[in-house]
Amino acid sequence: MDDSNVVTFGPHLNEIVDEADATMHESLLETQSCEIFKRTERMMAEARAEMKLRMDKCFSDFSNDMNQMFAKFEGQAMKSMSTPILGRGIESTANSLEHIVRHGKTDKNNSHISDIRQSKPDISCKIKPQIYDGSDDLEEYLTQFDLLAEINDWDPKTKALLLASSLSGSARAILNEITDRERHDFECLVNALKNRFGSMNRSEIFRAELQTRVRMKNETLPELAQAIKKLTRRAYPDTTALVMDTLSLDYFIDAIPETDIRLRLREVGPTSINEAENIAVRLEALRIADIQKGRNVRTVETETL
């Protein structure tokens, strides 16, 4: 039989090949997609591990820095326990250190409290100022206070707070006579103290005292010179150093009751009160030695007779 006229109904060979290629292509795409997905998952896992490692290192470094900071602060605080405080003796800081460390850890969960505390001045006192009650010389106290402020590196606000906390007695009453802003202003607080205890408003009183000042009983010449310098500075606060030294020299010589020493100083003509003090001390020593020698001579003559 001739097969040329037979009609077949099965799939064509080209169609079978196309379907096989399509299946293979889909399988290849699926394989590539799986590889890309696995690679992405691996990269994300590595990124998460790297991030966790960096965060752990960051927290570890932060913890070490905090521990070193507290250790350094504790060492400085313990060292300051043995430092004498002018006018107050030795002061312990162990309780305050424990309080600061404890509240410092608590503030980690209270950021607003930390912000408030950070706005306050960081007061560091290597040497604390003495108490001022108004009886001592204000200019001398403020001079020493400025030196302490330079040693401790205080800013103006810290200086105002420490000066206000160092007032006592009649000087402390000034704090209620000024405003809250002036209490935190160092210049305003100093001006208020000068108006009450300064030499500017009492210069006439000091001048009258200076004119009548004489050497007291059992008072040494160096003590007399120091008192004259102080009175001259308070009686003439606006004069120059040269004029003040000249005035103190004249008042010092006039305050010596011994006529021979006073006249000898006028004859020698010292140029400063320090020079006059040295000459007067030598003259007084010679005078006392001469008096003692005269007594010994009279005693020997009496015993001979």
Q: At what angle do helices 221-235 and 203-211 cross, to 10 degrees?
A: 150
Q: Which residues contact 216 (CB under 8 A, 6 or more apart)?
A: 224
Cα 254 from Cα 231, distance rounded (Å): 14
pLDDT, one tens digit per residue, over 97-110 is 444 445 554 444 44
Mean pLDDT of 206-210: 86
Phi and psi, residue 252, nearest 5°: -65, -45
Dist CA 218 CA 253 (whole Å): 17
Pairwise CA distance, residues 206 & 139, whole Å? 14
- Over 50: is that where the pLDDT of 24 sits? yes
Strands of the chain (E only): list them: 84-85, 89-90
Scored b (16 or more CB within 10 A) or e, 71-107 reads eeebeebeebeeeeeeeeeeeebeeebeebeeeeeeb
**Cβ neighbours of 183 (radius 10 Å):** 18
Query: What is the mean pLDDT of the segment spanning 103-119?
Result: 47
Tens digit of each residue's pLDDT (9 = 90 or more) over 261-280: 889 998 998 999 999 999 99
Considering only CA atoms, which of 128, 145, 132 is closest in space to residue 196?
Answer: 132
pLDDT at 5: 52
Please write the tens of the pLDDT for every residue from 136-173.
888 888 888 888 888 888 888 888 888 988 898 888 88
Q: Are 225 and 277 in contact (CB under 8 A)?
A: yes
Q: Quick check: 271 and 242 in contact, CB under 8 A? A: no
Cα end-to-end span (Å), the chain: 194
- 267 — phi, psi (to 5°)? -70, -45
> Of 139, 129, 118, which Cα lies nearest the Cα of 206?
139
The lowest-confidence range among 13-17, 31-35, 252-256 is 13-17
What are the tens digits of pLDDT across the range 64-81?
A: 777 777 777 666 656 555
The pLDDT, as a whole number, for residue 200 is: 65
The SS3 assignment for 90 reads strand
Write down the domain spans for the chain: 71-79+93-114, 138-198, 203-304
pLDDT of residue 207: 86
